[in-house]
Amino acid sequence: MREFFTFEDCIAHHGGIMSRAELLRVGWTSHDVRIGVQYGWLHRLCRGWYGSVDLPAAVRASWAHGGPLACVSALEYLGAISSAGIEAPPHVCRPSRGHRLRYSGPAVVHWSDADANSGDRWCVSLEAALRQAALCAPERMPESTRPGGEPTQWSF
Ligand SMILES: [Zn+2]
């Protein structure tokens, strides 16, 4: 007897993203999962991972590459910097043992177990994102966090 009647209720209750193993653990069968995907009741993010229908587009785009938003994509999502535009490839965090997924389009992948687990399923922590972005895209860092302190002020 499983806890939830629909995949959507179940995944929403578990934070919007669940792995296949987690779905099986709460009582769904592999047959349920297969039929769910086939009939569109269960939305696959990438191999072995499923998301609720109301997952933010940025989080869905990141999970197409198998992990939470990272680096500048995480900073955009958290509202720390402005967006580079919807066409920009997502920066994604993946555990270091992972493999790059095929057919998932362009992305910047940050490989780190610690960072992948630093925030929640959707997004790495702000601290991790700032640290990643300082190395990966320093030009996009919020000014107050740039190394070297205050930005130069020009007076005319
Ligand atoms: Zn990056």
The Cα–Cα gap between 149 and 143 comes to 8
CA 133 to ligand 1 center in whole angstroms: 5
C-alpha–C-alpha distance, residues 143 and 102, integer Å: 36
134: CA distance to ligand 1 center in Å? 9
**Measured in angstroms, how far is the CA atom of residue 70 from the centroid of ligand 1?**
7
pLDDT at site 100: 67
Domain boundaries, the chain: 7-51, 57-145
What does pLDDT average to in each consecutive run of 10 residues of the chain (156 residues)?
82 96 96 96 94 94 95 95 84 84 80 95 97 95 63 46
Q: Are 59 and 122 in contact (CB under 8 A)?
A: yes
Can you give the pLDDT at residue 156? 44
Say how many Å lie between the CA of residue 54 and the centre of ligand 1: 25
How far is ligand 1, taken at its centre, from the CA of residue 41, in Å? Answer: 33
What pLDDT score does 1 carry? 54
Give the distance, in angstroms, between the CA of residue 114 and the centroid of all CA atoms in the same chain: 14
Q: How far does the centroid of ligand 1 lie from the alpha carbon of residue 130, in Å?
A: 10
Protein residues within 5 Å, CB atom, of ion ligand 1: 71, 91, 108, 136
CA of 132 to the centre of ligand 1 (A): 6
Instruction: List, in order, residues 6 or more apart from 142 with CB less than 8 Å away.
Output: 75, 80, 81
Distance 154 CA to ligand 1 centre (A): 30
pLDDT, position 138: 93
